[in-house]
Amino acid sequence: MALNVSRPEVQFAMETVRMAAQVAWEVERELVDHTITKSDKSPVTVADFASQALVGCLLEKTFPNDPLVAEEDSAHLKEESAAQNLGNVVRFVGRHLAYATPQTVCAWIDHGGQSPAKRFWTLDPIDGTKGFLRGDQYAVALALIVDGQVEVGVLGCPNLSNGYRPNHDGPGSLVVAVRGEGTWTQPLAEEGPLTRLRVSNIRNGVEARLLRSVDAGHTNAGRVAQLVETLGVRAEPVLMDSQAKYSVMAAGHGDLLFRLLTKAQPDYREKIWDHAAGSLVIQEAGGRVTDLMGKDLDFTQGRTLANNVGILASNGQLHETALKALAAVFQEQA
């Protein structure tokens, strides 16, 4: 089976993510200490806005009727105190789109504020902002959703080589999944041969490798520890930010990923852009992604996975075992 890269949607997604990830890489190298703070205190960098502006502009030109549902908006950049930040965004975008101005850049960013439709794209312009600020793992994540189903998912991972190996000074990885056509990777820095990715064949929890976020605040550490004990996992967890974890699992270098509810946010529902691209990357590599109850992810409910609780991703072989472990842990703590 080969990937049909000539399909317009696939070609667009690959080229756009490659360009957006290149901008992110440039900002990381030149401006990584210049951060913006949202009202919720999470760091946002110039790269978020520059990446989203590029995607918004290119989507508007290529598929003008397709909405974009994305994480950021330009409200902060329009504040008088943000003039320098806006200038930096325009400067980095302008390296790739010479006609960028403060007005056009803000309009392109806000193109991502649209509502989901029968067919739409969803974007996380920089998934793993804290990893980005550390010079660690982050990803540009873009997905096409049609009738509630992810059809194309692309990840741009500047600090990941061969789809799984952390490498800050390497060629990066472009990871692309197309429904029915598998998951593939090629160097991000320049087009090269496509390599098929496949999940591991590990069937025993004792041999499983758990993928976890570096920031423990993204999950319930206590319950994760109980799950590790219940499953008998012996290996040290693979700590990594962003949907780069999904690429690592797709490449067979990780086997389980839990996104549990935290005690601070028991009613939290995941954002669609945090999982759309990555979920297809795993599925097309032979793995499985559901919520913590085993339900398929429902991308028909707007900007969040309102009908799902948490995330469980696996190589497929371990999924039912993991669901049983989750049920046992939840029952103990009920």
* Residue 301 domain flag: yes
Same domain for 187 and 316: no
* Residue 191 domain flag: yes
Q: Domain count for the chain, please give it.
A: 2
Boundaries of domain holding 97: 8-197
Amino acid 265: pLDDT: 86
Same domain for 221 and 290: yes
All residues at 6 or more sequence positions from 88 whose CB lies less than 8 Å from its CB, including other chains: 31, 34, 46
By the 10 Å C-beta count (0-12 exposed, 13-18 middle, 19+ buried), 299 is classed as buried
Amino acid 33: pLDDT: 67
pLDDT digits (tens, 9 = 90+) for 100-118: 999 999 999 999 999 999 9
Q: Is 147 a catalytic residue?
A: no
* Residue 1 domain flag: no
Are 176 and 19 in contact, with CB atoms under 8 Å apart? no
Q: Given the residues 45, 129, 183, 290, select the one marked as catalytic.
A: 129
Amino acid 41: pLDDT: 43
**pLDDT under 50 in the chain at which residues?**
41, 334
Q: Is 215 a catalytic residue?
A: no
**Residue whose entry in the numeric block shows the structure tokens 């696939």:** 10
Amino acid 34: pLDDT: 52
Handedness of CA 100, 104, 105, 109 (dihedral sign): negative
Handedness of CA 145, 45, 215, 168 (dihedral sign): positive
Same domain for 218 and 178: no
E strand or H helix at 155, and its extent?
strand 149-157
Q: What is the dihedral of CA 71, 77, 82, 87, to 10 degrees?
A: 110
Q: Given the residues 45, 48, 122, 219, select the one marked as catalytic.
A: 48
